[in-house]
Amino acid sequence: EVQLVESGGGLVQPGGSLRLSCAASGFTFSSYSMNWVRQAPGKGLEWVSYISSSSSTIYYADSVKGRFTISRDNAKNSLYLQMNSLRAEDTAVYYCARWDFCTSYPYLAVWGQGTTVTVSS
Amino acid sequence: DIQMTQSPSSLSTSVGDRVTVTCRASQSISSYLNWYQQKPGKAPKLLIYAASSLQSGVPSRFSGSGSGTDFTLTISSLQPEDFATYFCQQSYSAPQTFGLGTKVEIK
């Protein structure tokens, strides 16, 4: 079964750090680009970061650039998001999602269940 | 960044009704438009990709259409399990962006 399982969320004070992990199974992780997408309470979806299969290409949303770092370990079938200098507005459920393609059309076909990050004093 | 505008933001409807949700892009995105369904407390689920292609396992009552800037998600006959929030997403250019969602509620 194709599966993504996030972990590492929790309560952190403003200015603090947190590292999220996403464990992949049931598919060849090293062949796929991956994304982090977040959803603030009661709000819509916001793309956070993208990493290509070989880590050669990385993108960040402007809202997290310079504070968050995406990485992956293909040997461990794992995706990571290091979050530093956290702010109240980073409070959200964080999802990892697989970047799939059909011909040239990309989409997020597989999602994890999400991990909750709460930034509060 | 490309802005995605969904309408309506919510709608109340009944089982068996035909439902249409619209998504408009701030610039042409060809057919790089995807639709997701999200139920409370759950992750989004892909329904439609490339504007009109049905994801494997998704019931045929769901369909998508459009290209350029205007897109539509249609549910031909709403079922009880379809009450959820629906999001569009453009994958034409980085950063990928989502619409704010359309909540389909029971009348």
Tens-digit pLDDT profile for residues A51-73: 999 999 999 999 999 999 999 99
Which DSSP helix (H) or strand (E) runs through A60? strand A58-60
Cα distances (angstroms) measured from residue B100 to each of A26, A39, A72, A110, B88: 31, 11, 29, 20, 8
Q: Are B34 and B23 in contact (CB under 8 A)?
A: no
Nearest to A113 among B36, B43, B89 (CB): B43
**Which amino acid is residue A116, in one-letter code?**
T
What are φ and ψ of residue A46, in 5° steps? -130, 120
Q: What is the pLDDT of residue B22?
A: 98
Task: Tell me if A107 and B94 make a contact (CB, 8 A cut-off).
Answer: no
Strands A10-12 and A92-102: unpaired
E strands, chain B, are 4-7, 10-13, 19-25, 33-38, 45-49, 53-54, 62-67, 70-75, 85-90, 97-98, 102-106
* pLDDT (average), residues B43-55: 98
Q: Are B19 and B72 in contact (CB under 8 A)?
A: no
A7-58, pLDDT tens digit by residue? 999 999 999 999 999 999 999 999 999 999 999 999 999 999 999 999 999 9
> Is the pLDDT score of B88 beyond 90?
yes
Q: Are A40 and A91 in contact (CB under 8 A)?
A: yes
> Is the pLDDT score of B106 beyond 90?
no
Residue in chain B nearest A44 by alpha carbon: B100
Q: What is the pLDDT of residue A85?
A: 98
CA distance A47 to chain B (A): 7
pLDDT band, residue A101 (cuts 50/70/90): confident
Task: Tell me if B43 and A114 make a contact (CB, 8 A cut-off).
Answer: yes
Chain A contacts of B95, Cβ < 8 Å? 47, 59, 61-62
Q: Are A87 and A14 in contact (CB under 8 A)?
A: yes
> Is the pLDDT score of A103 beyond 90?
no
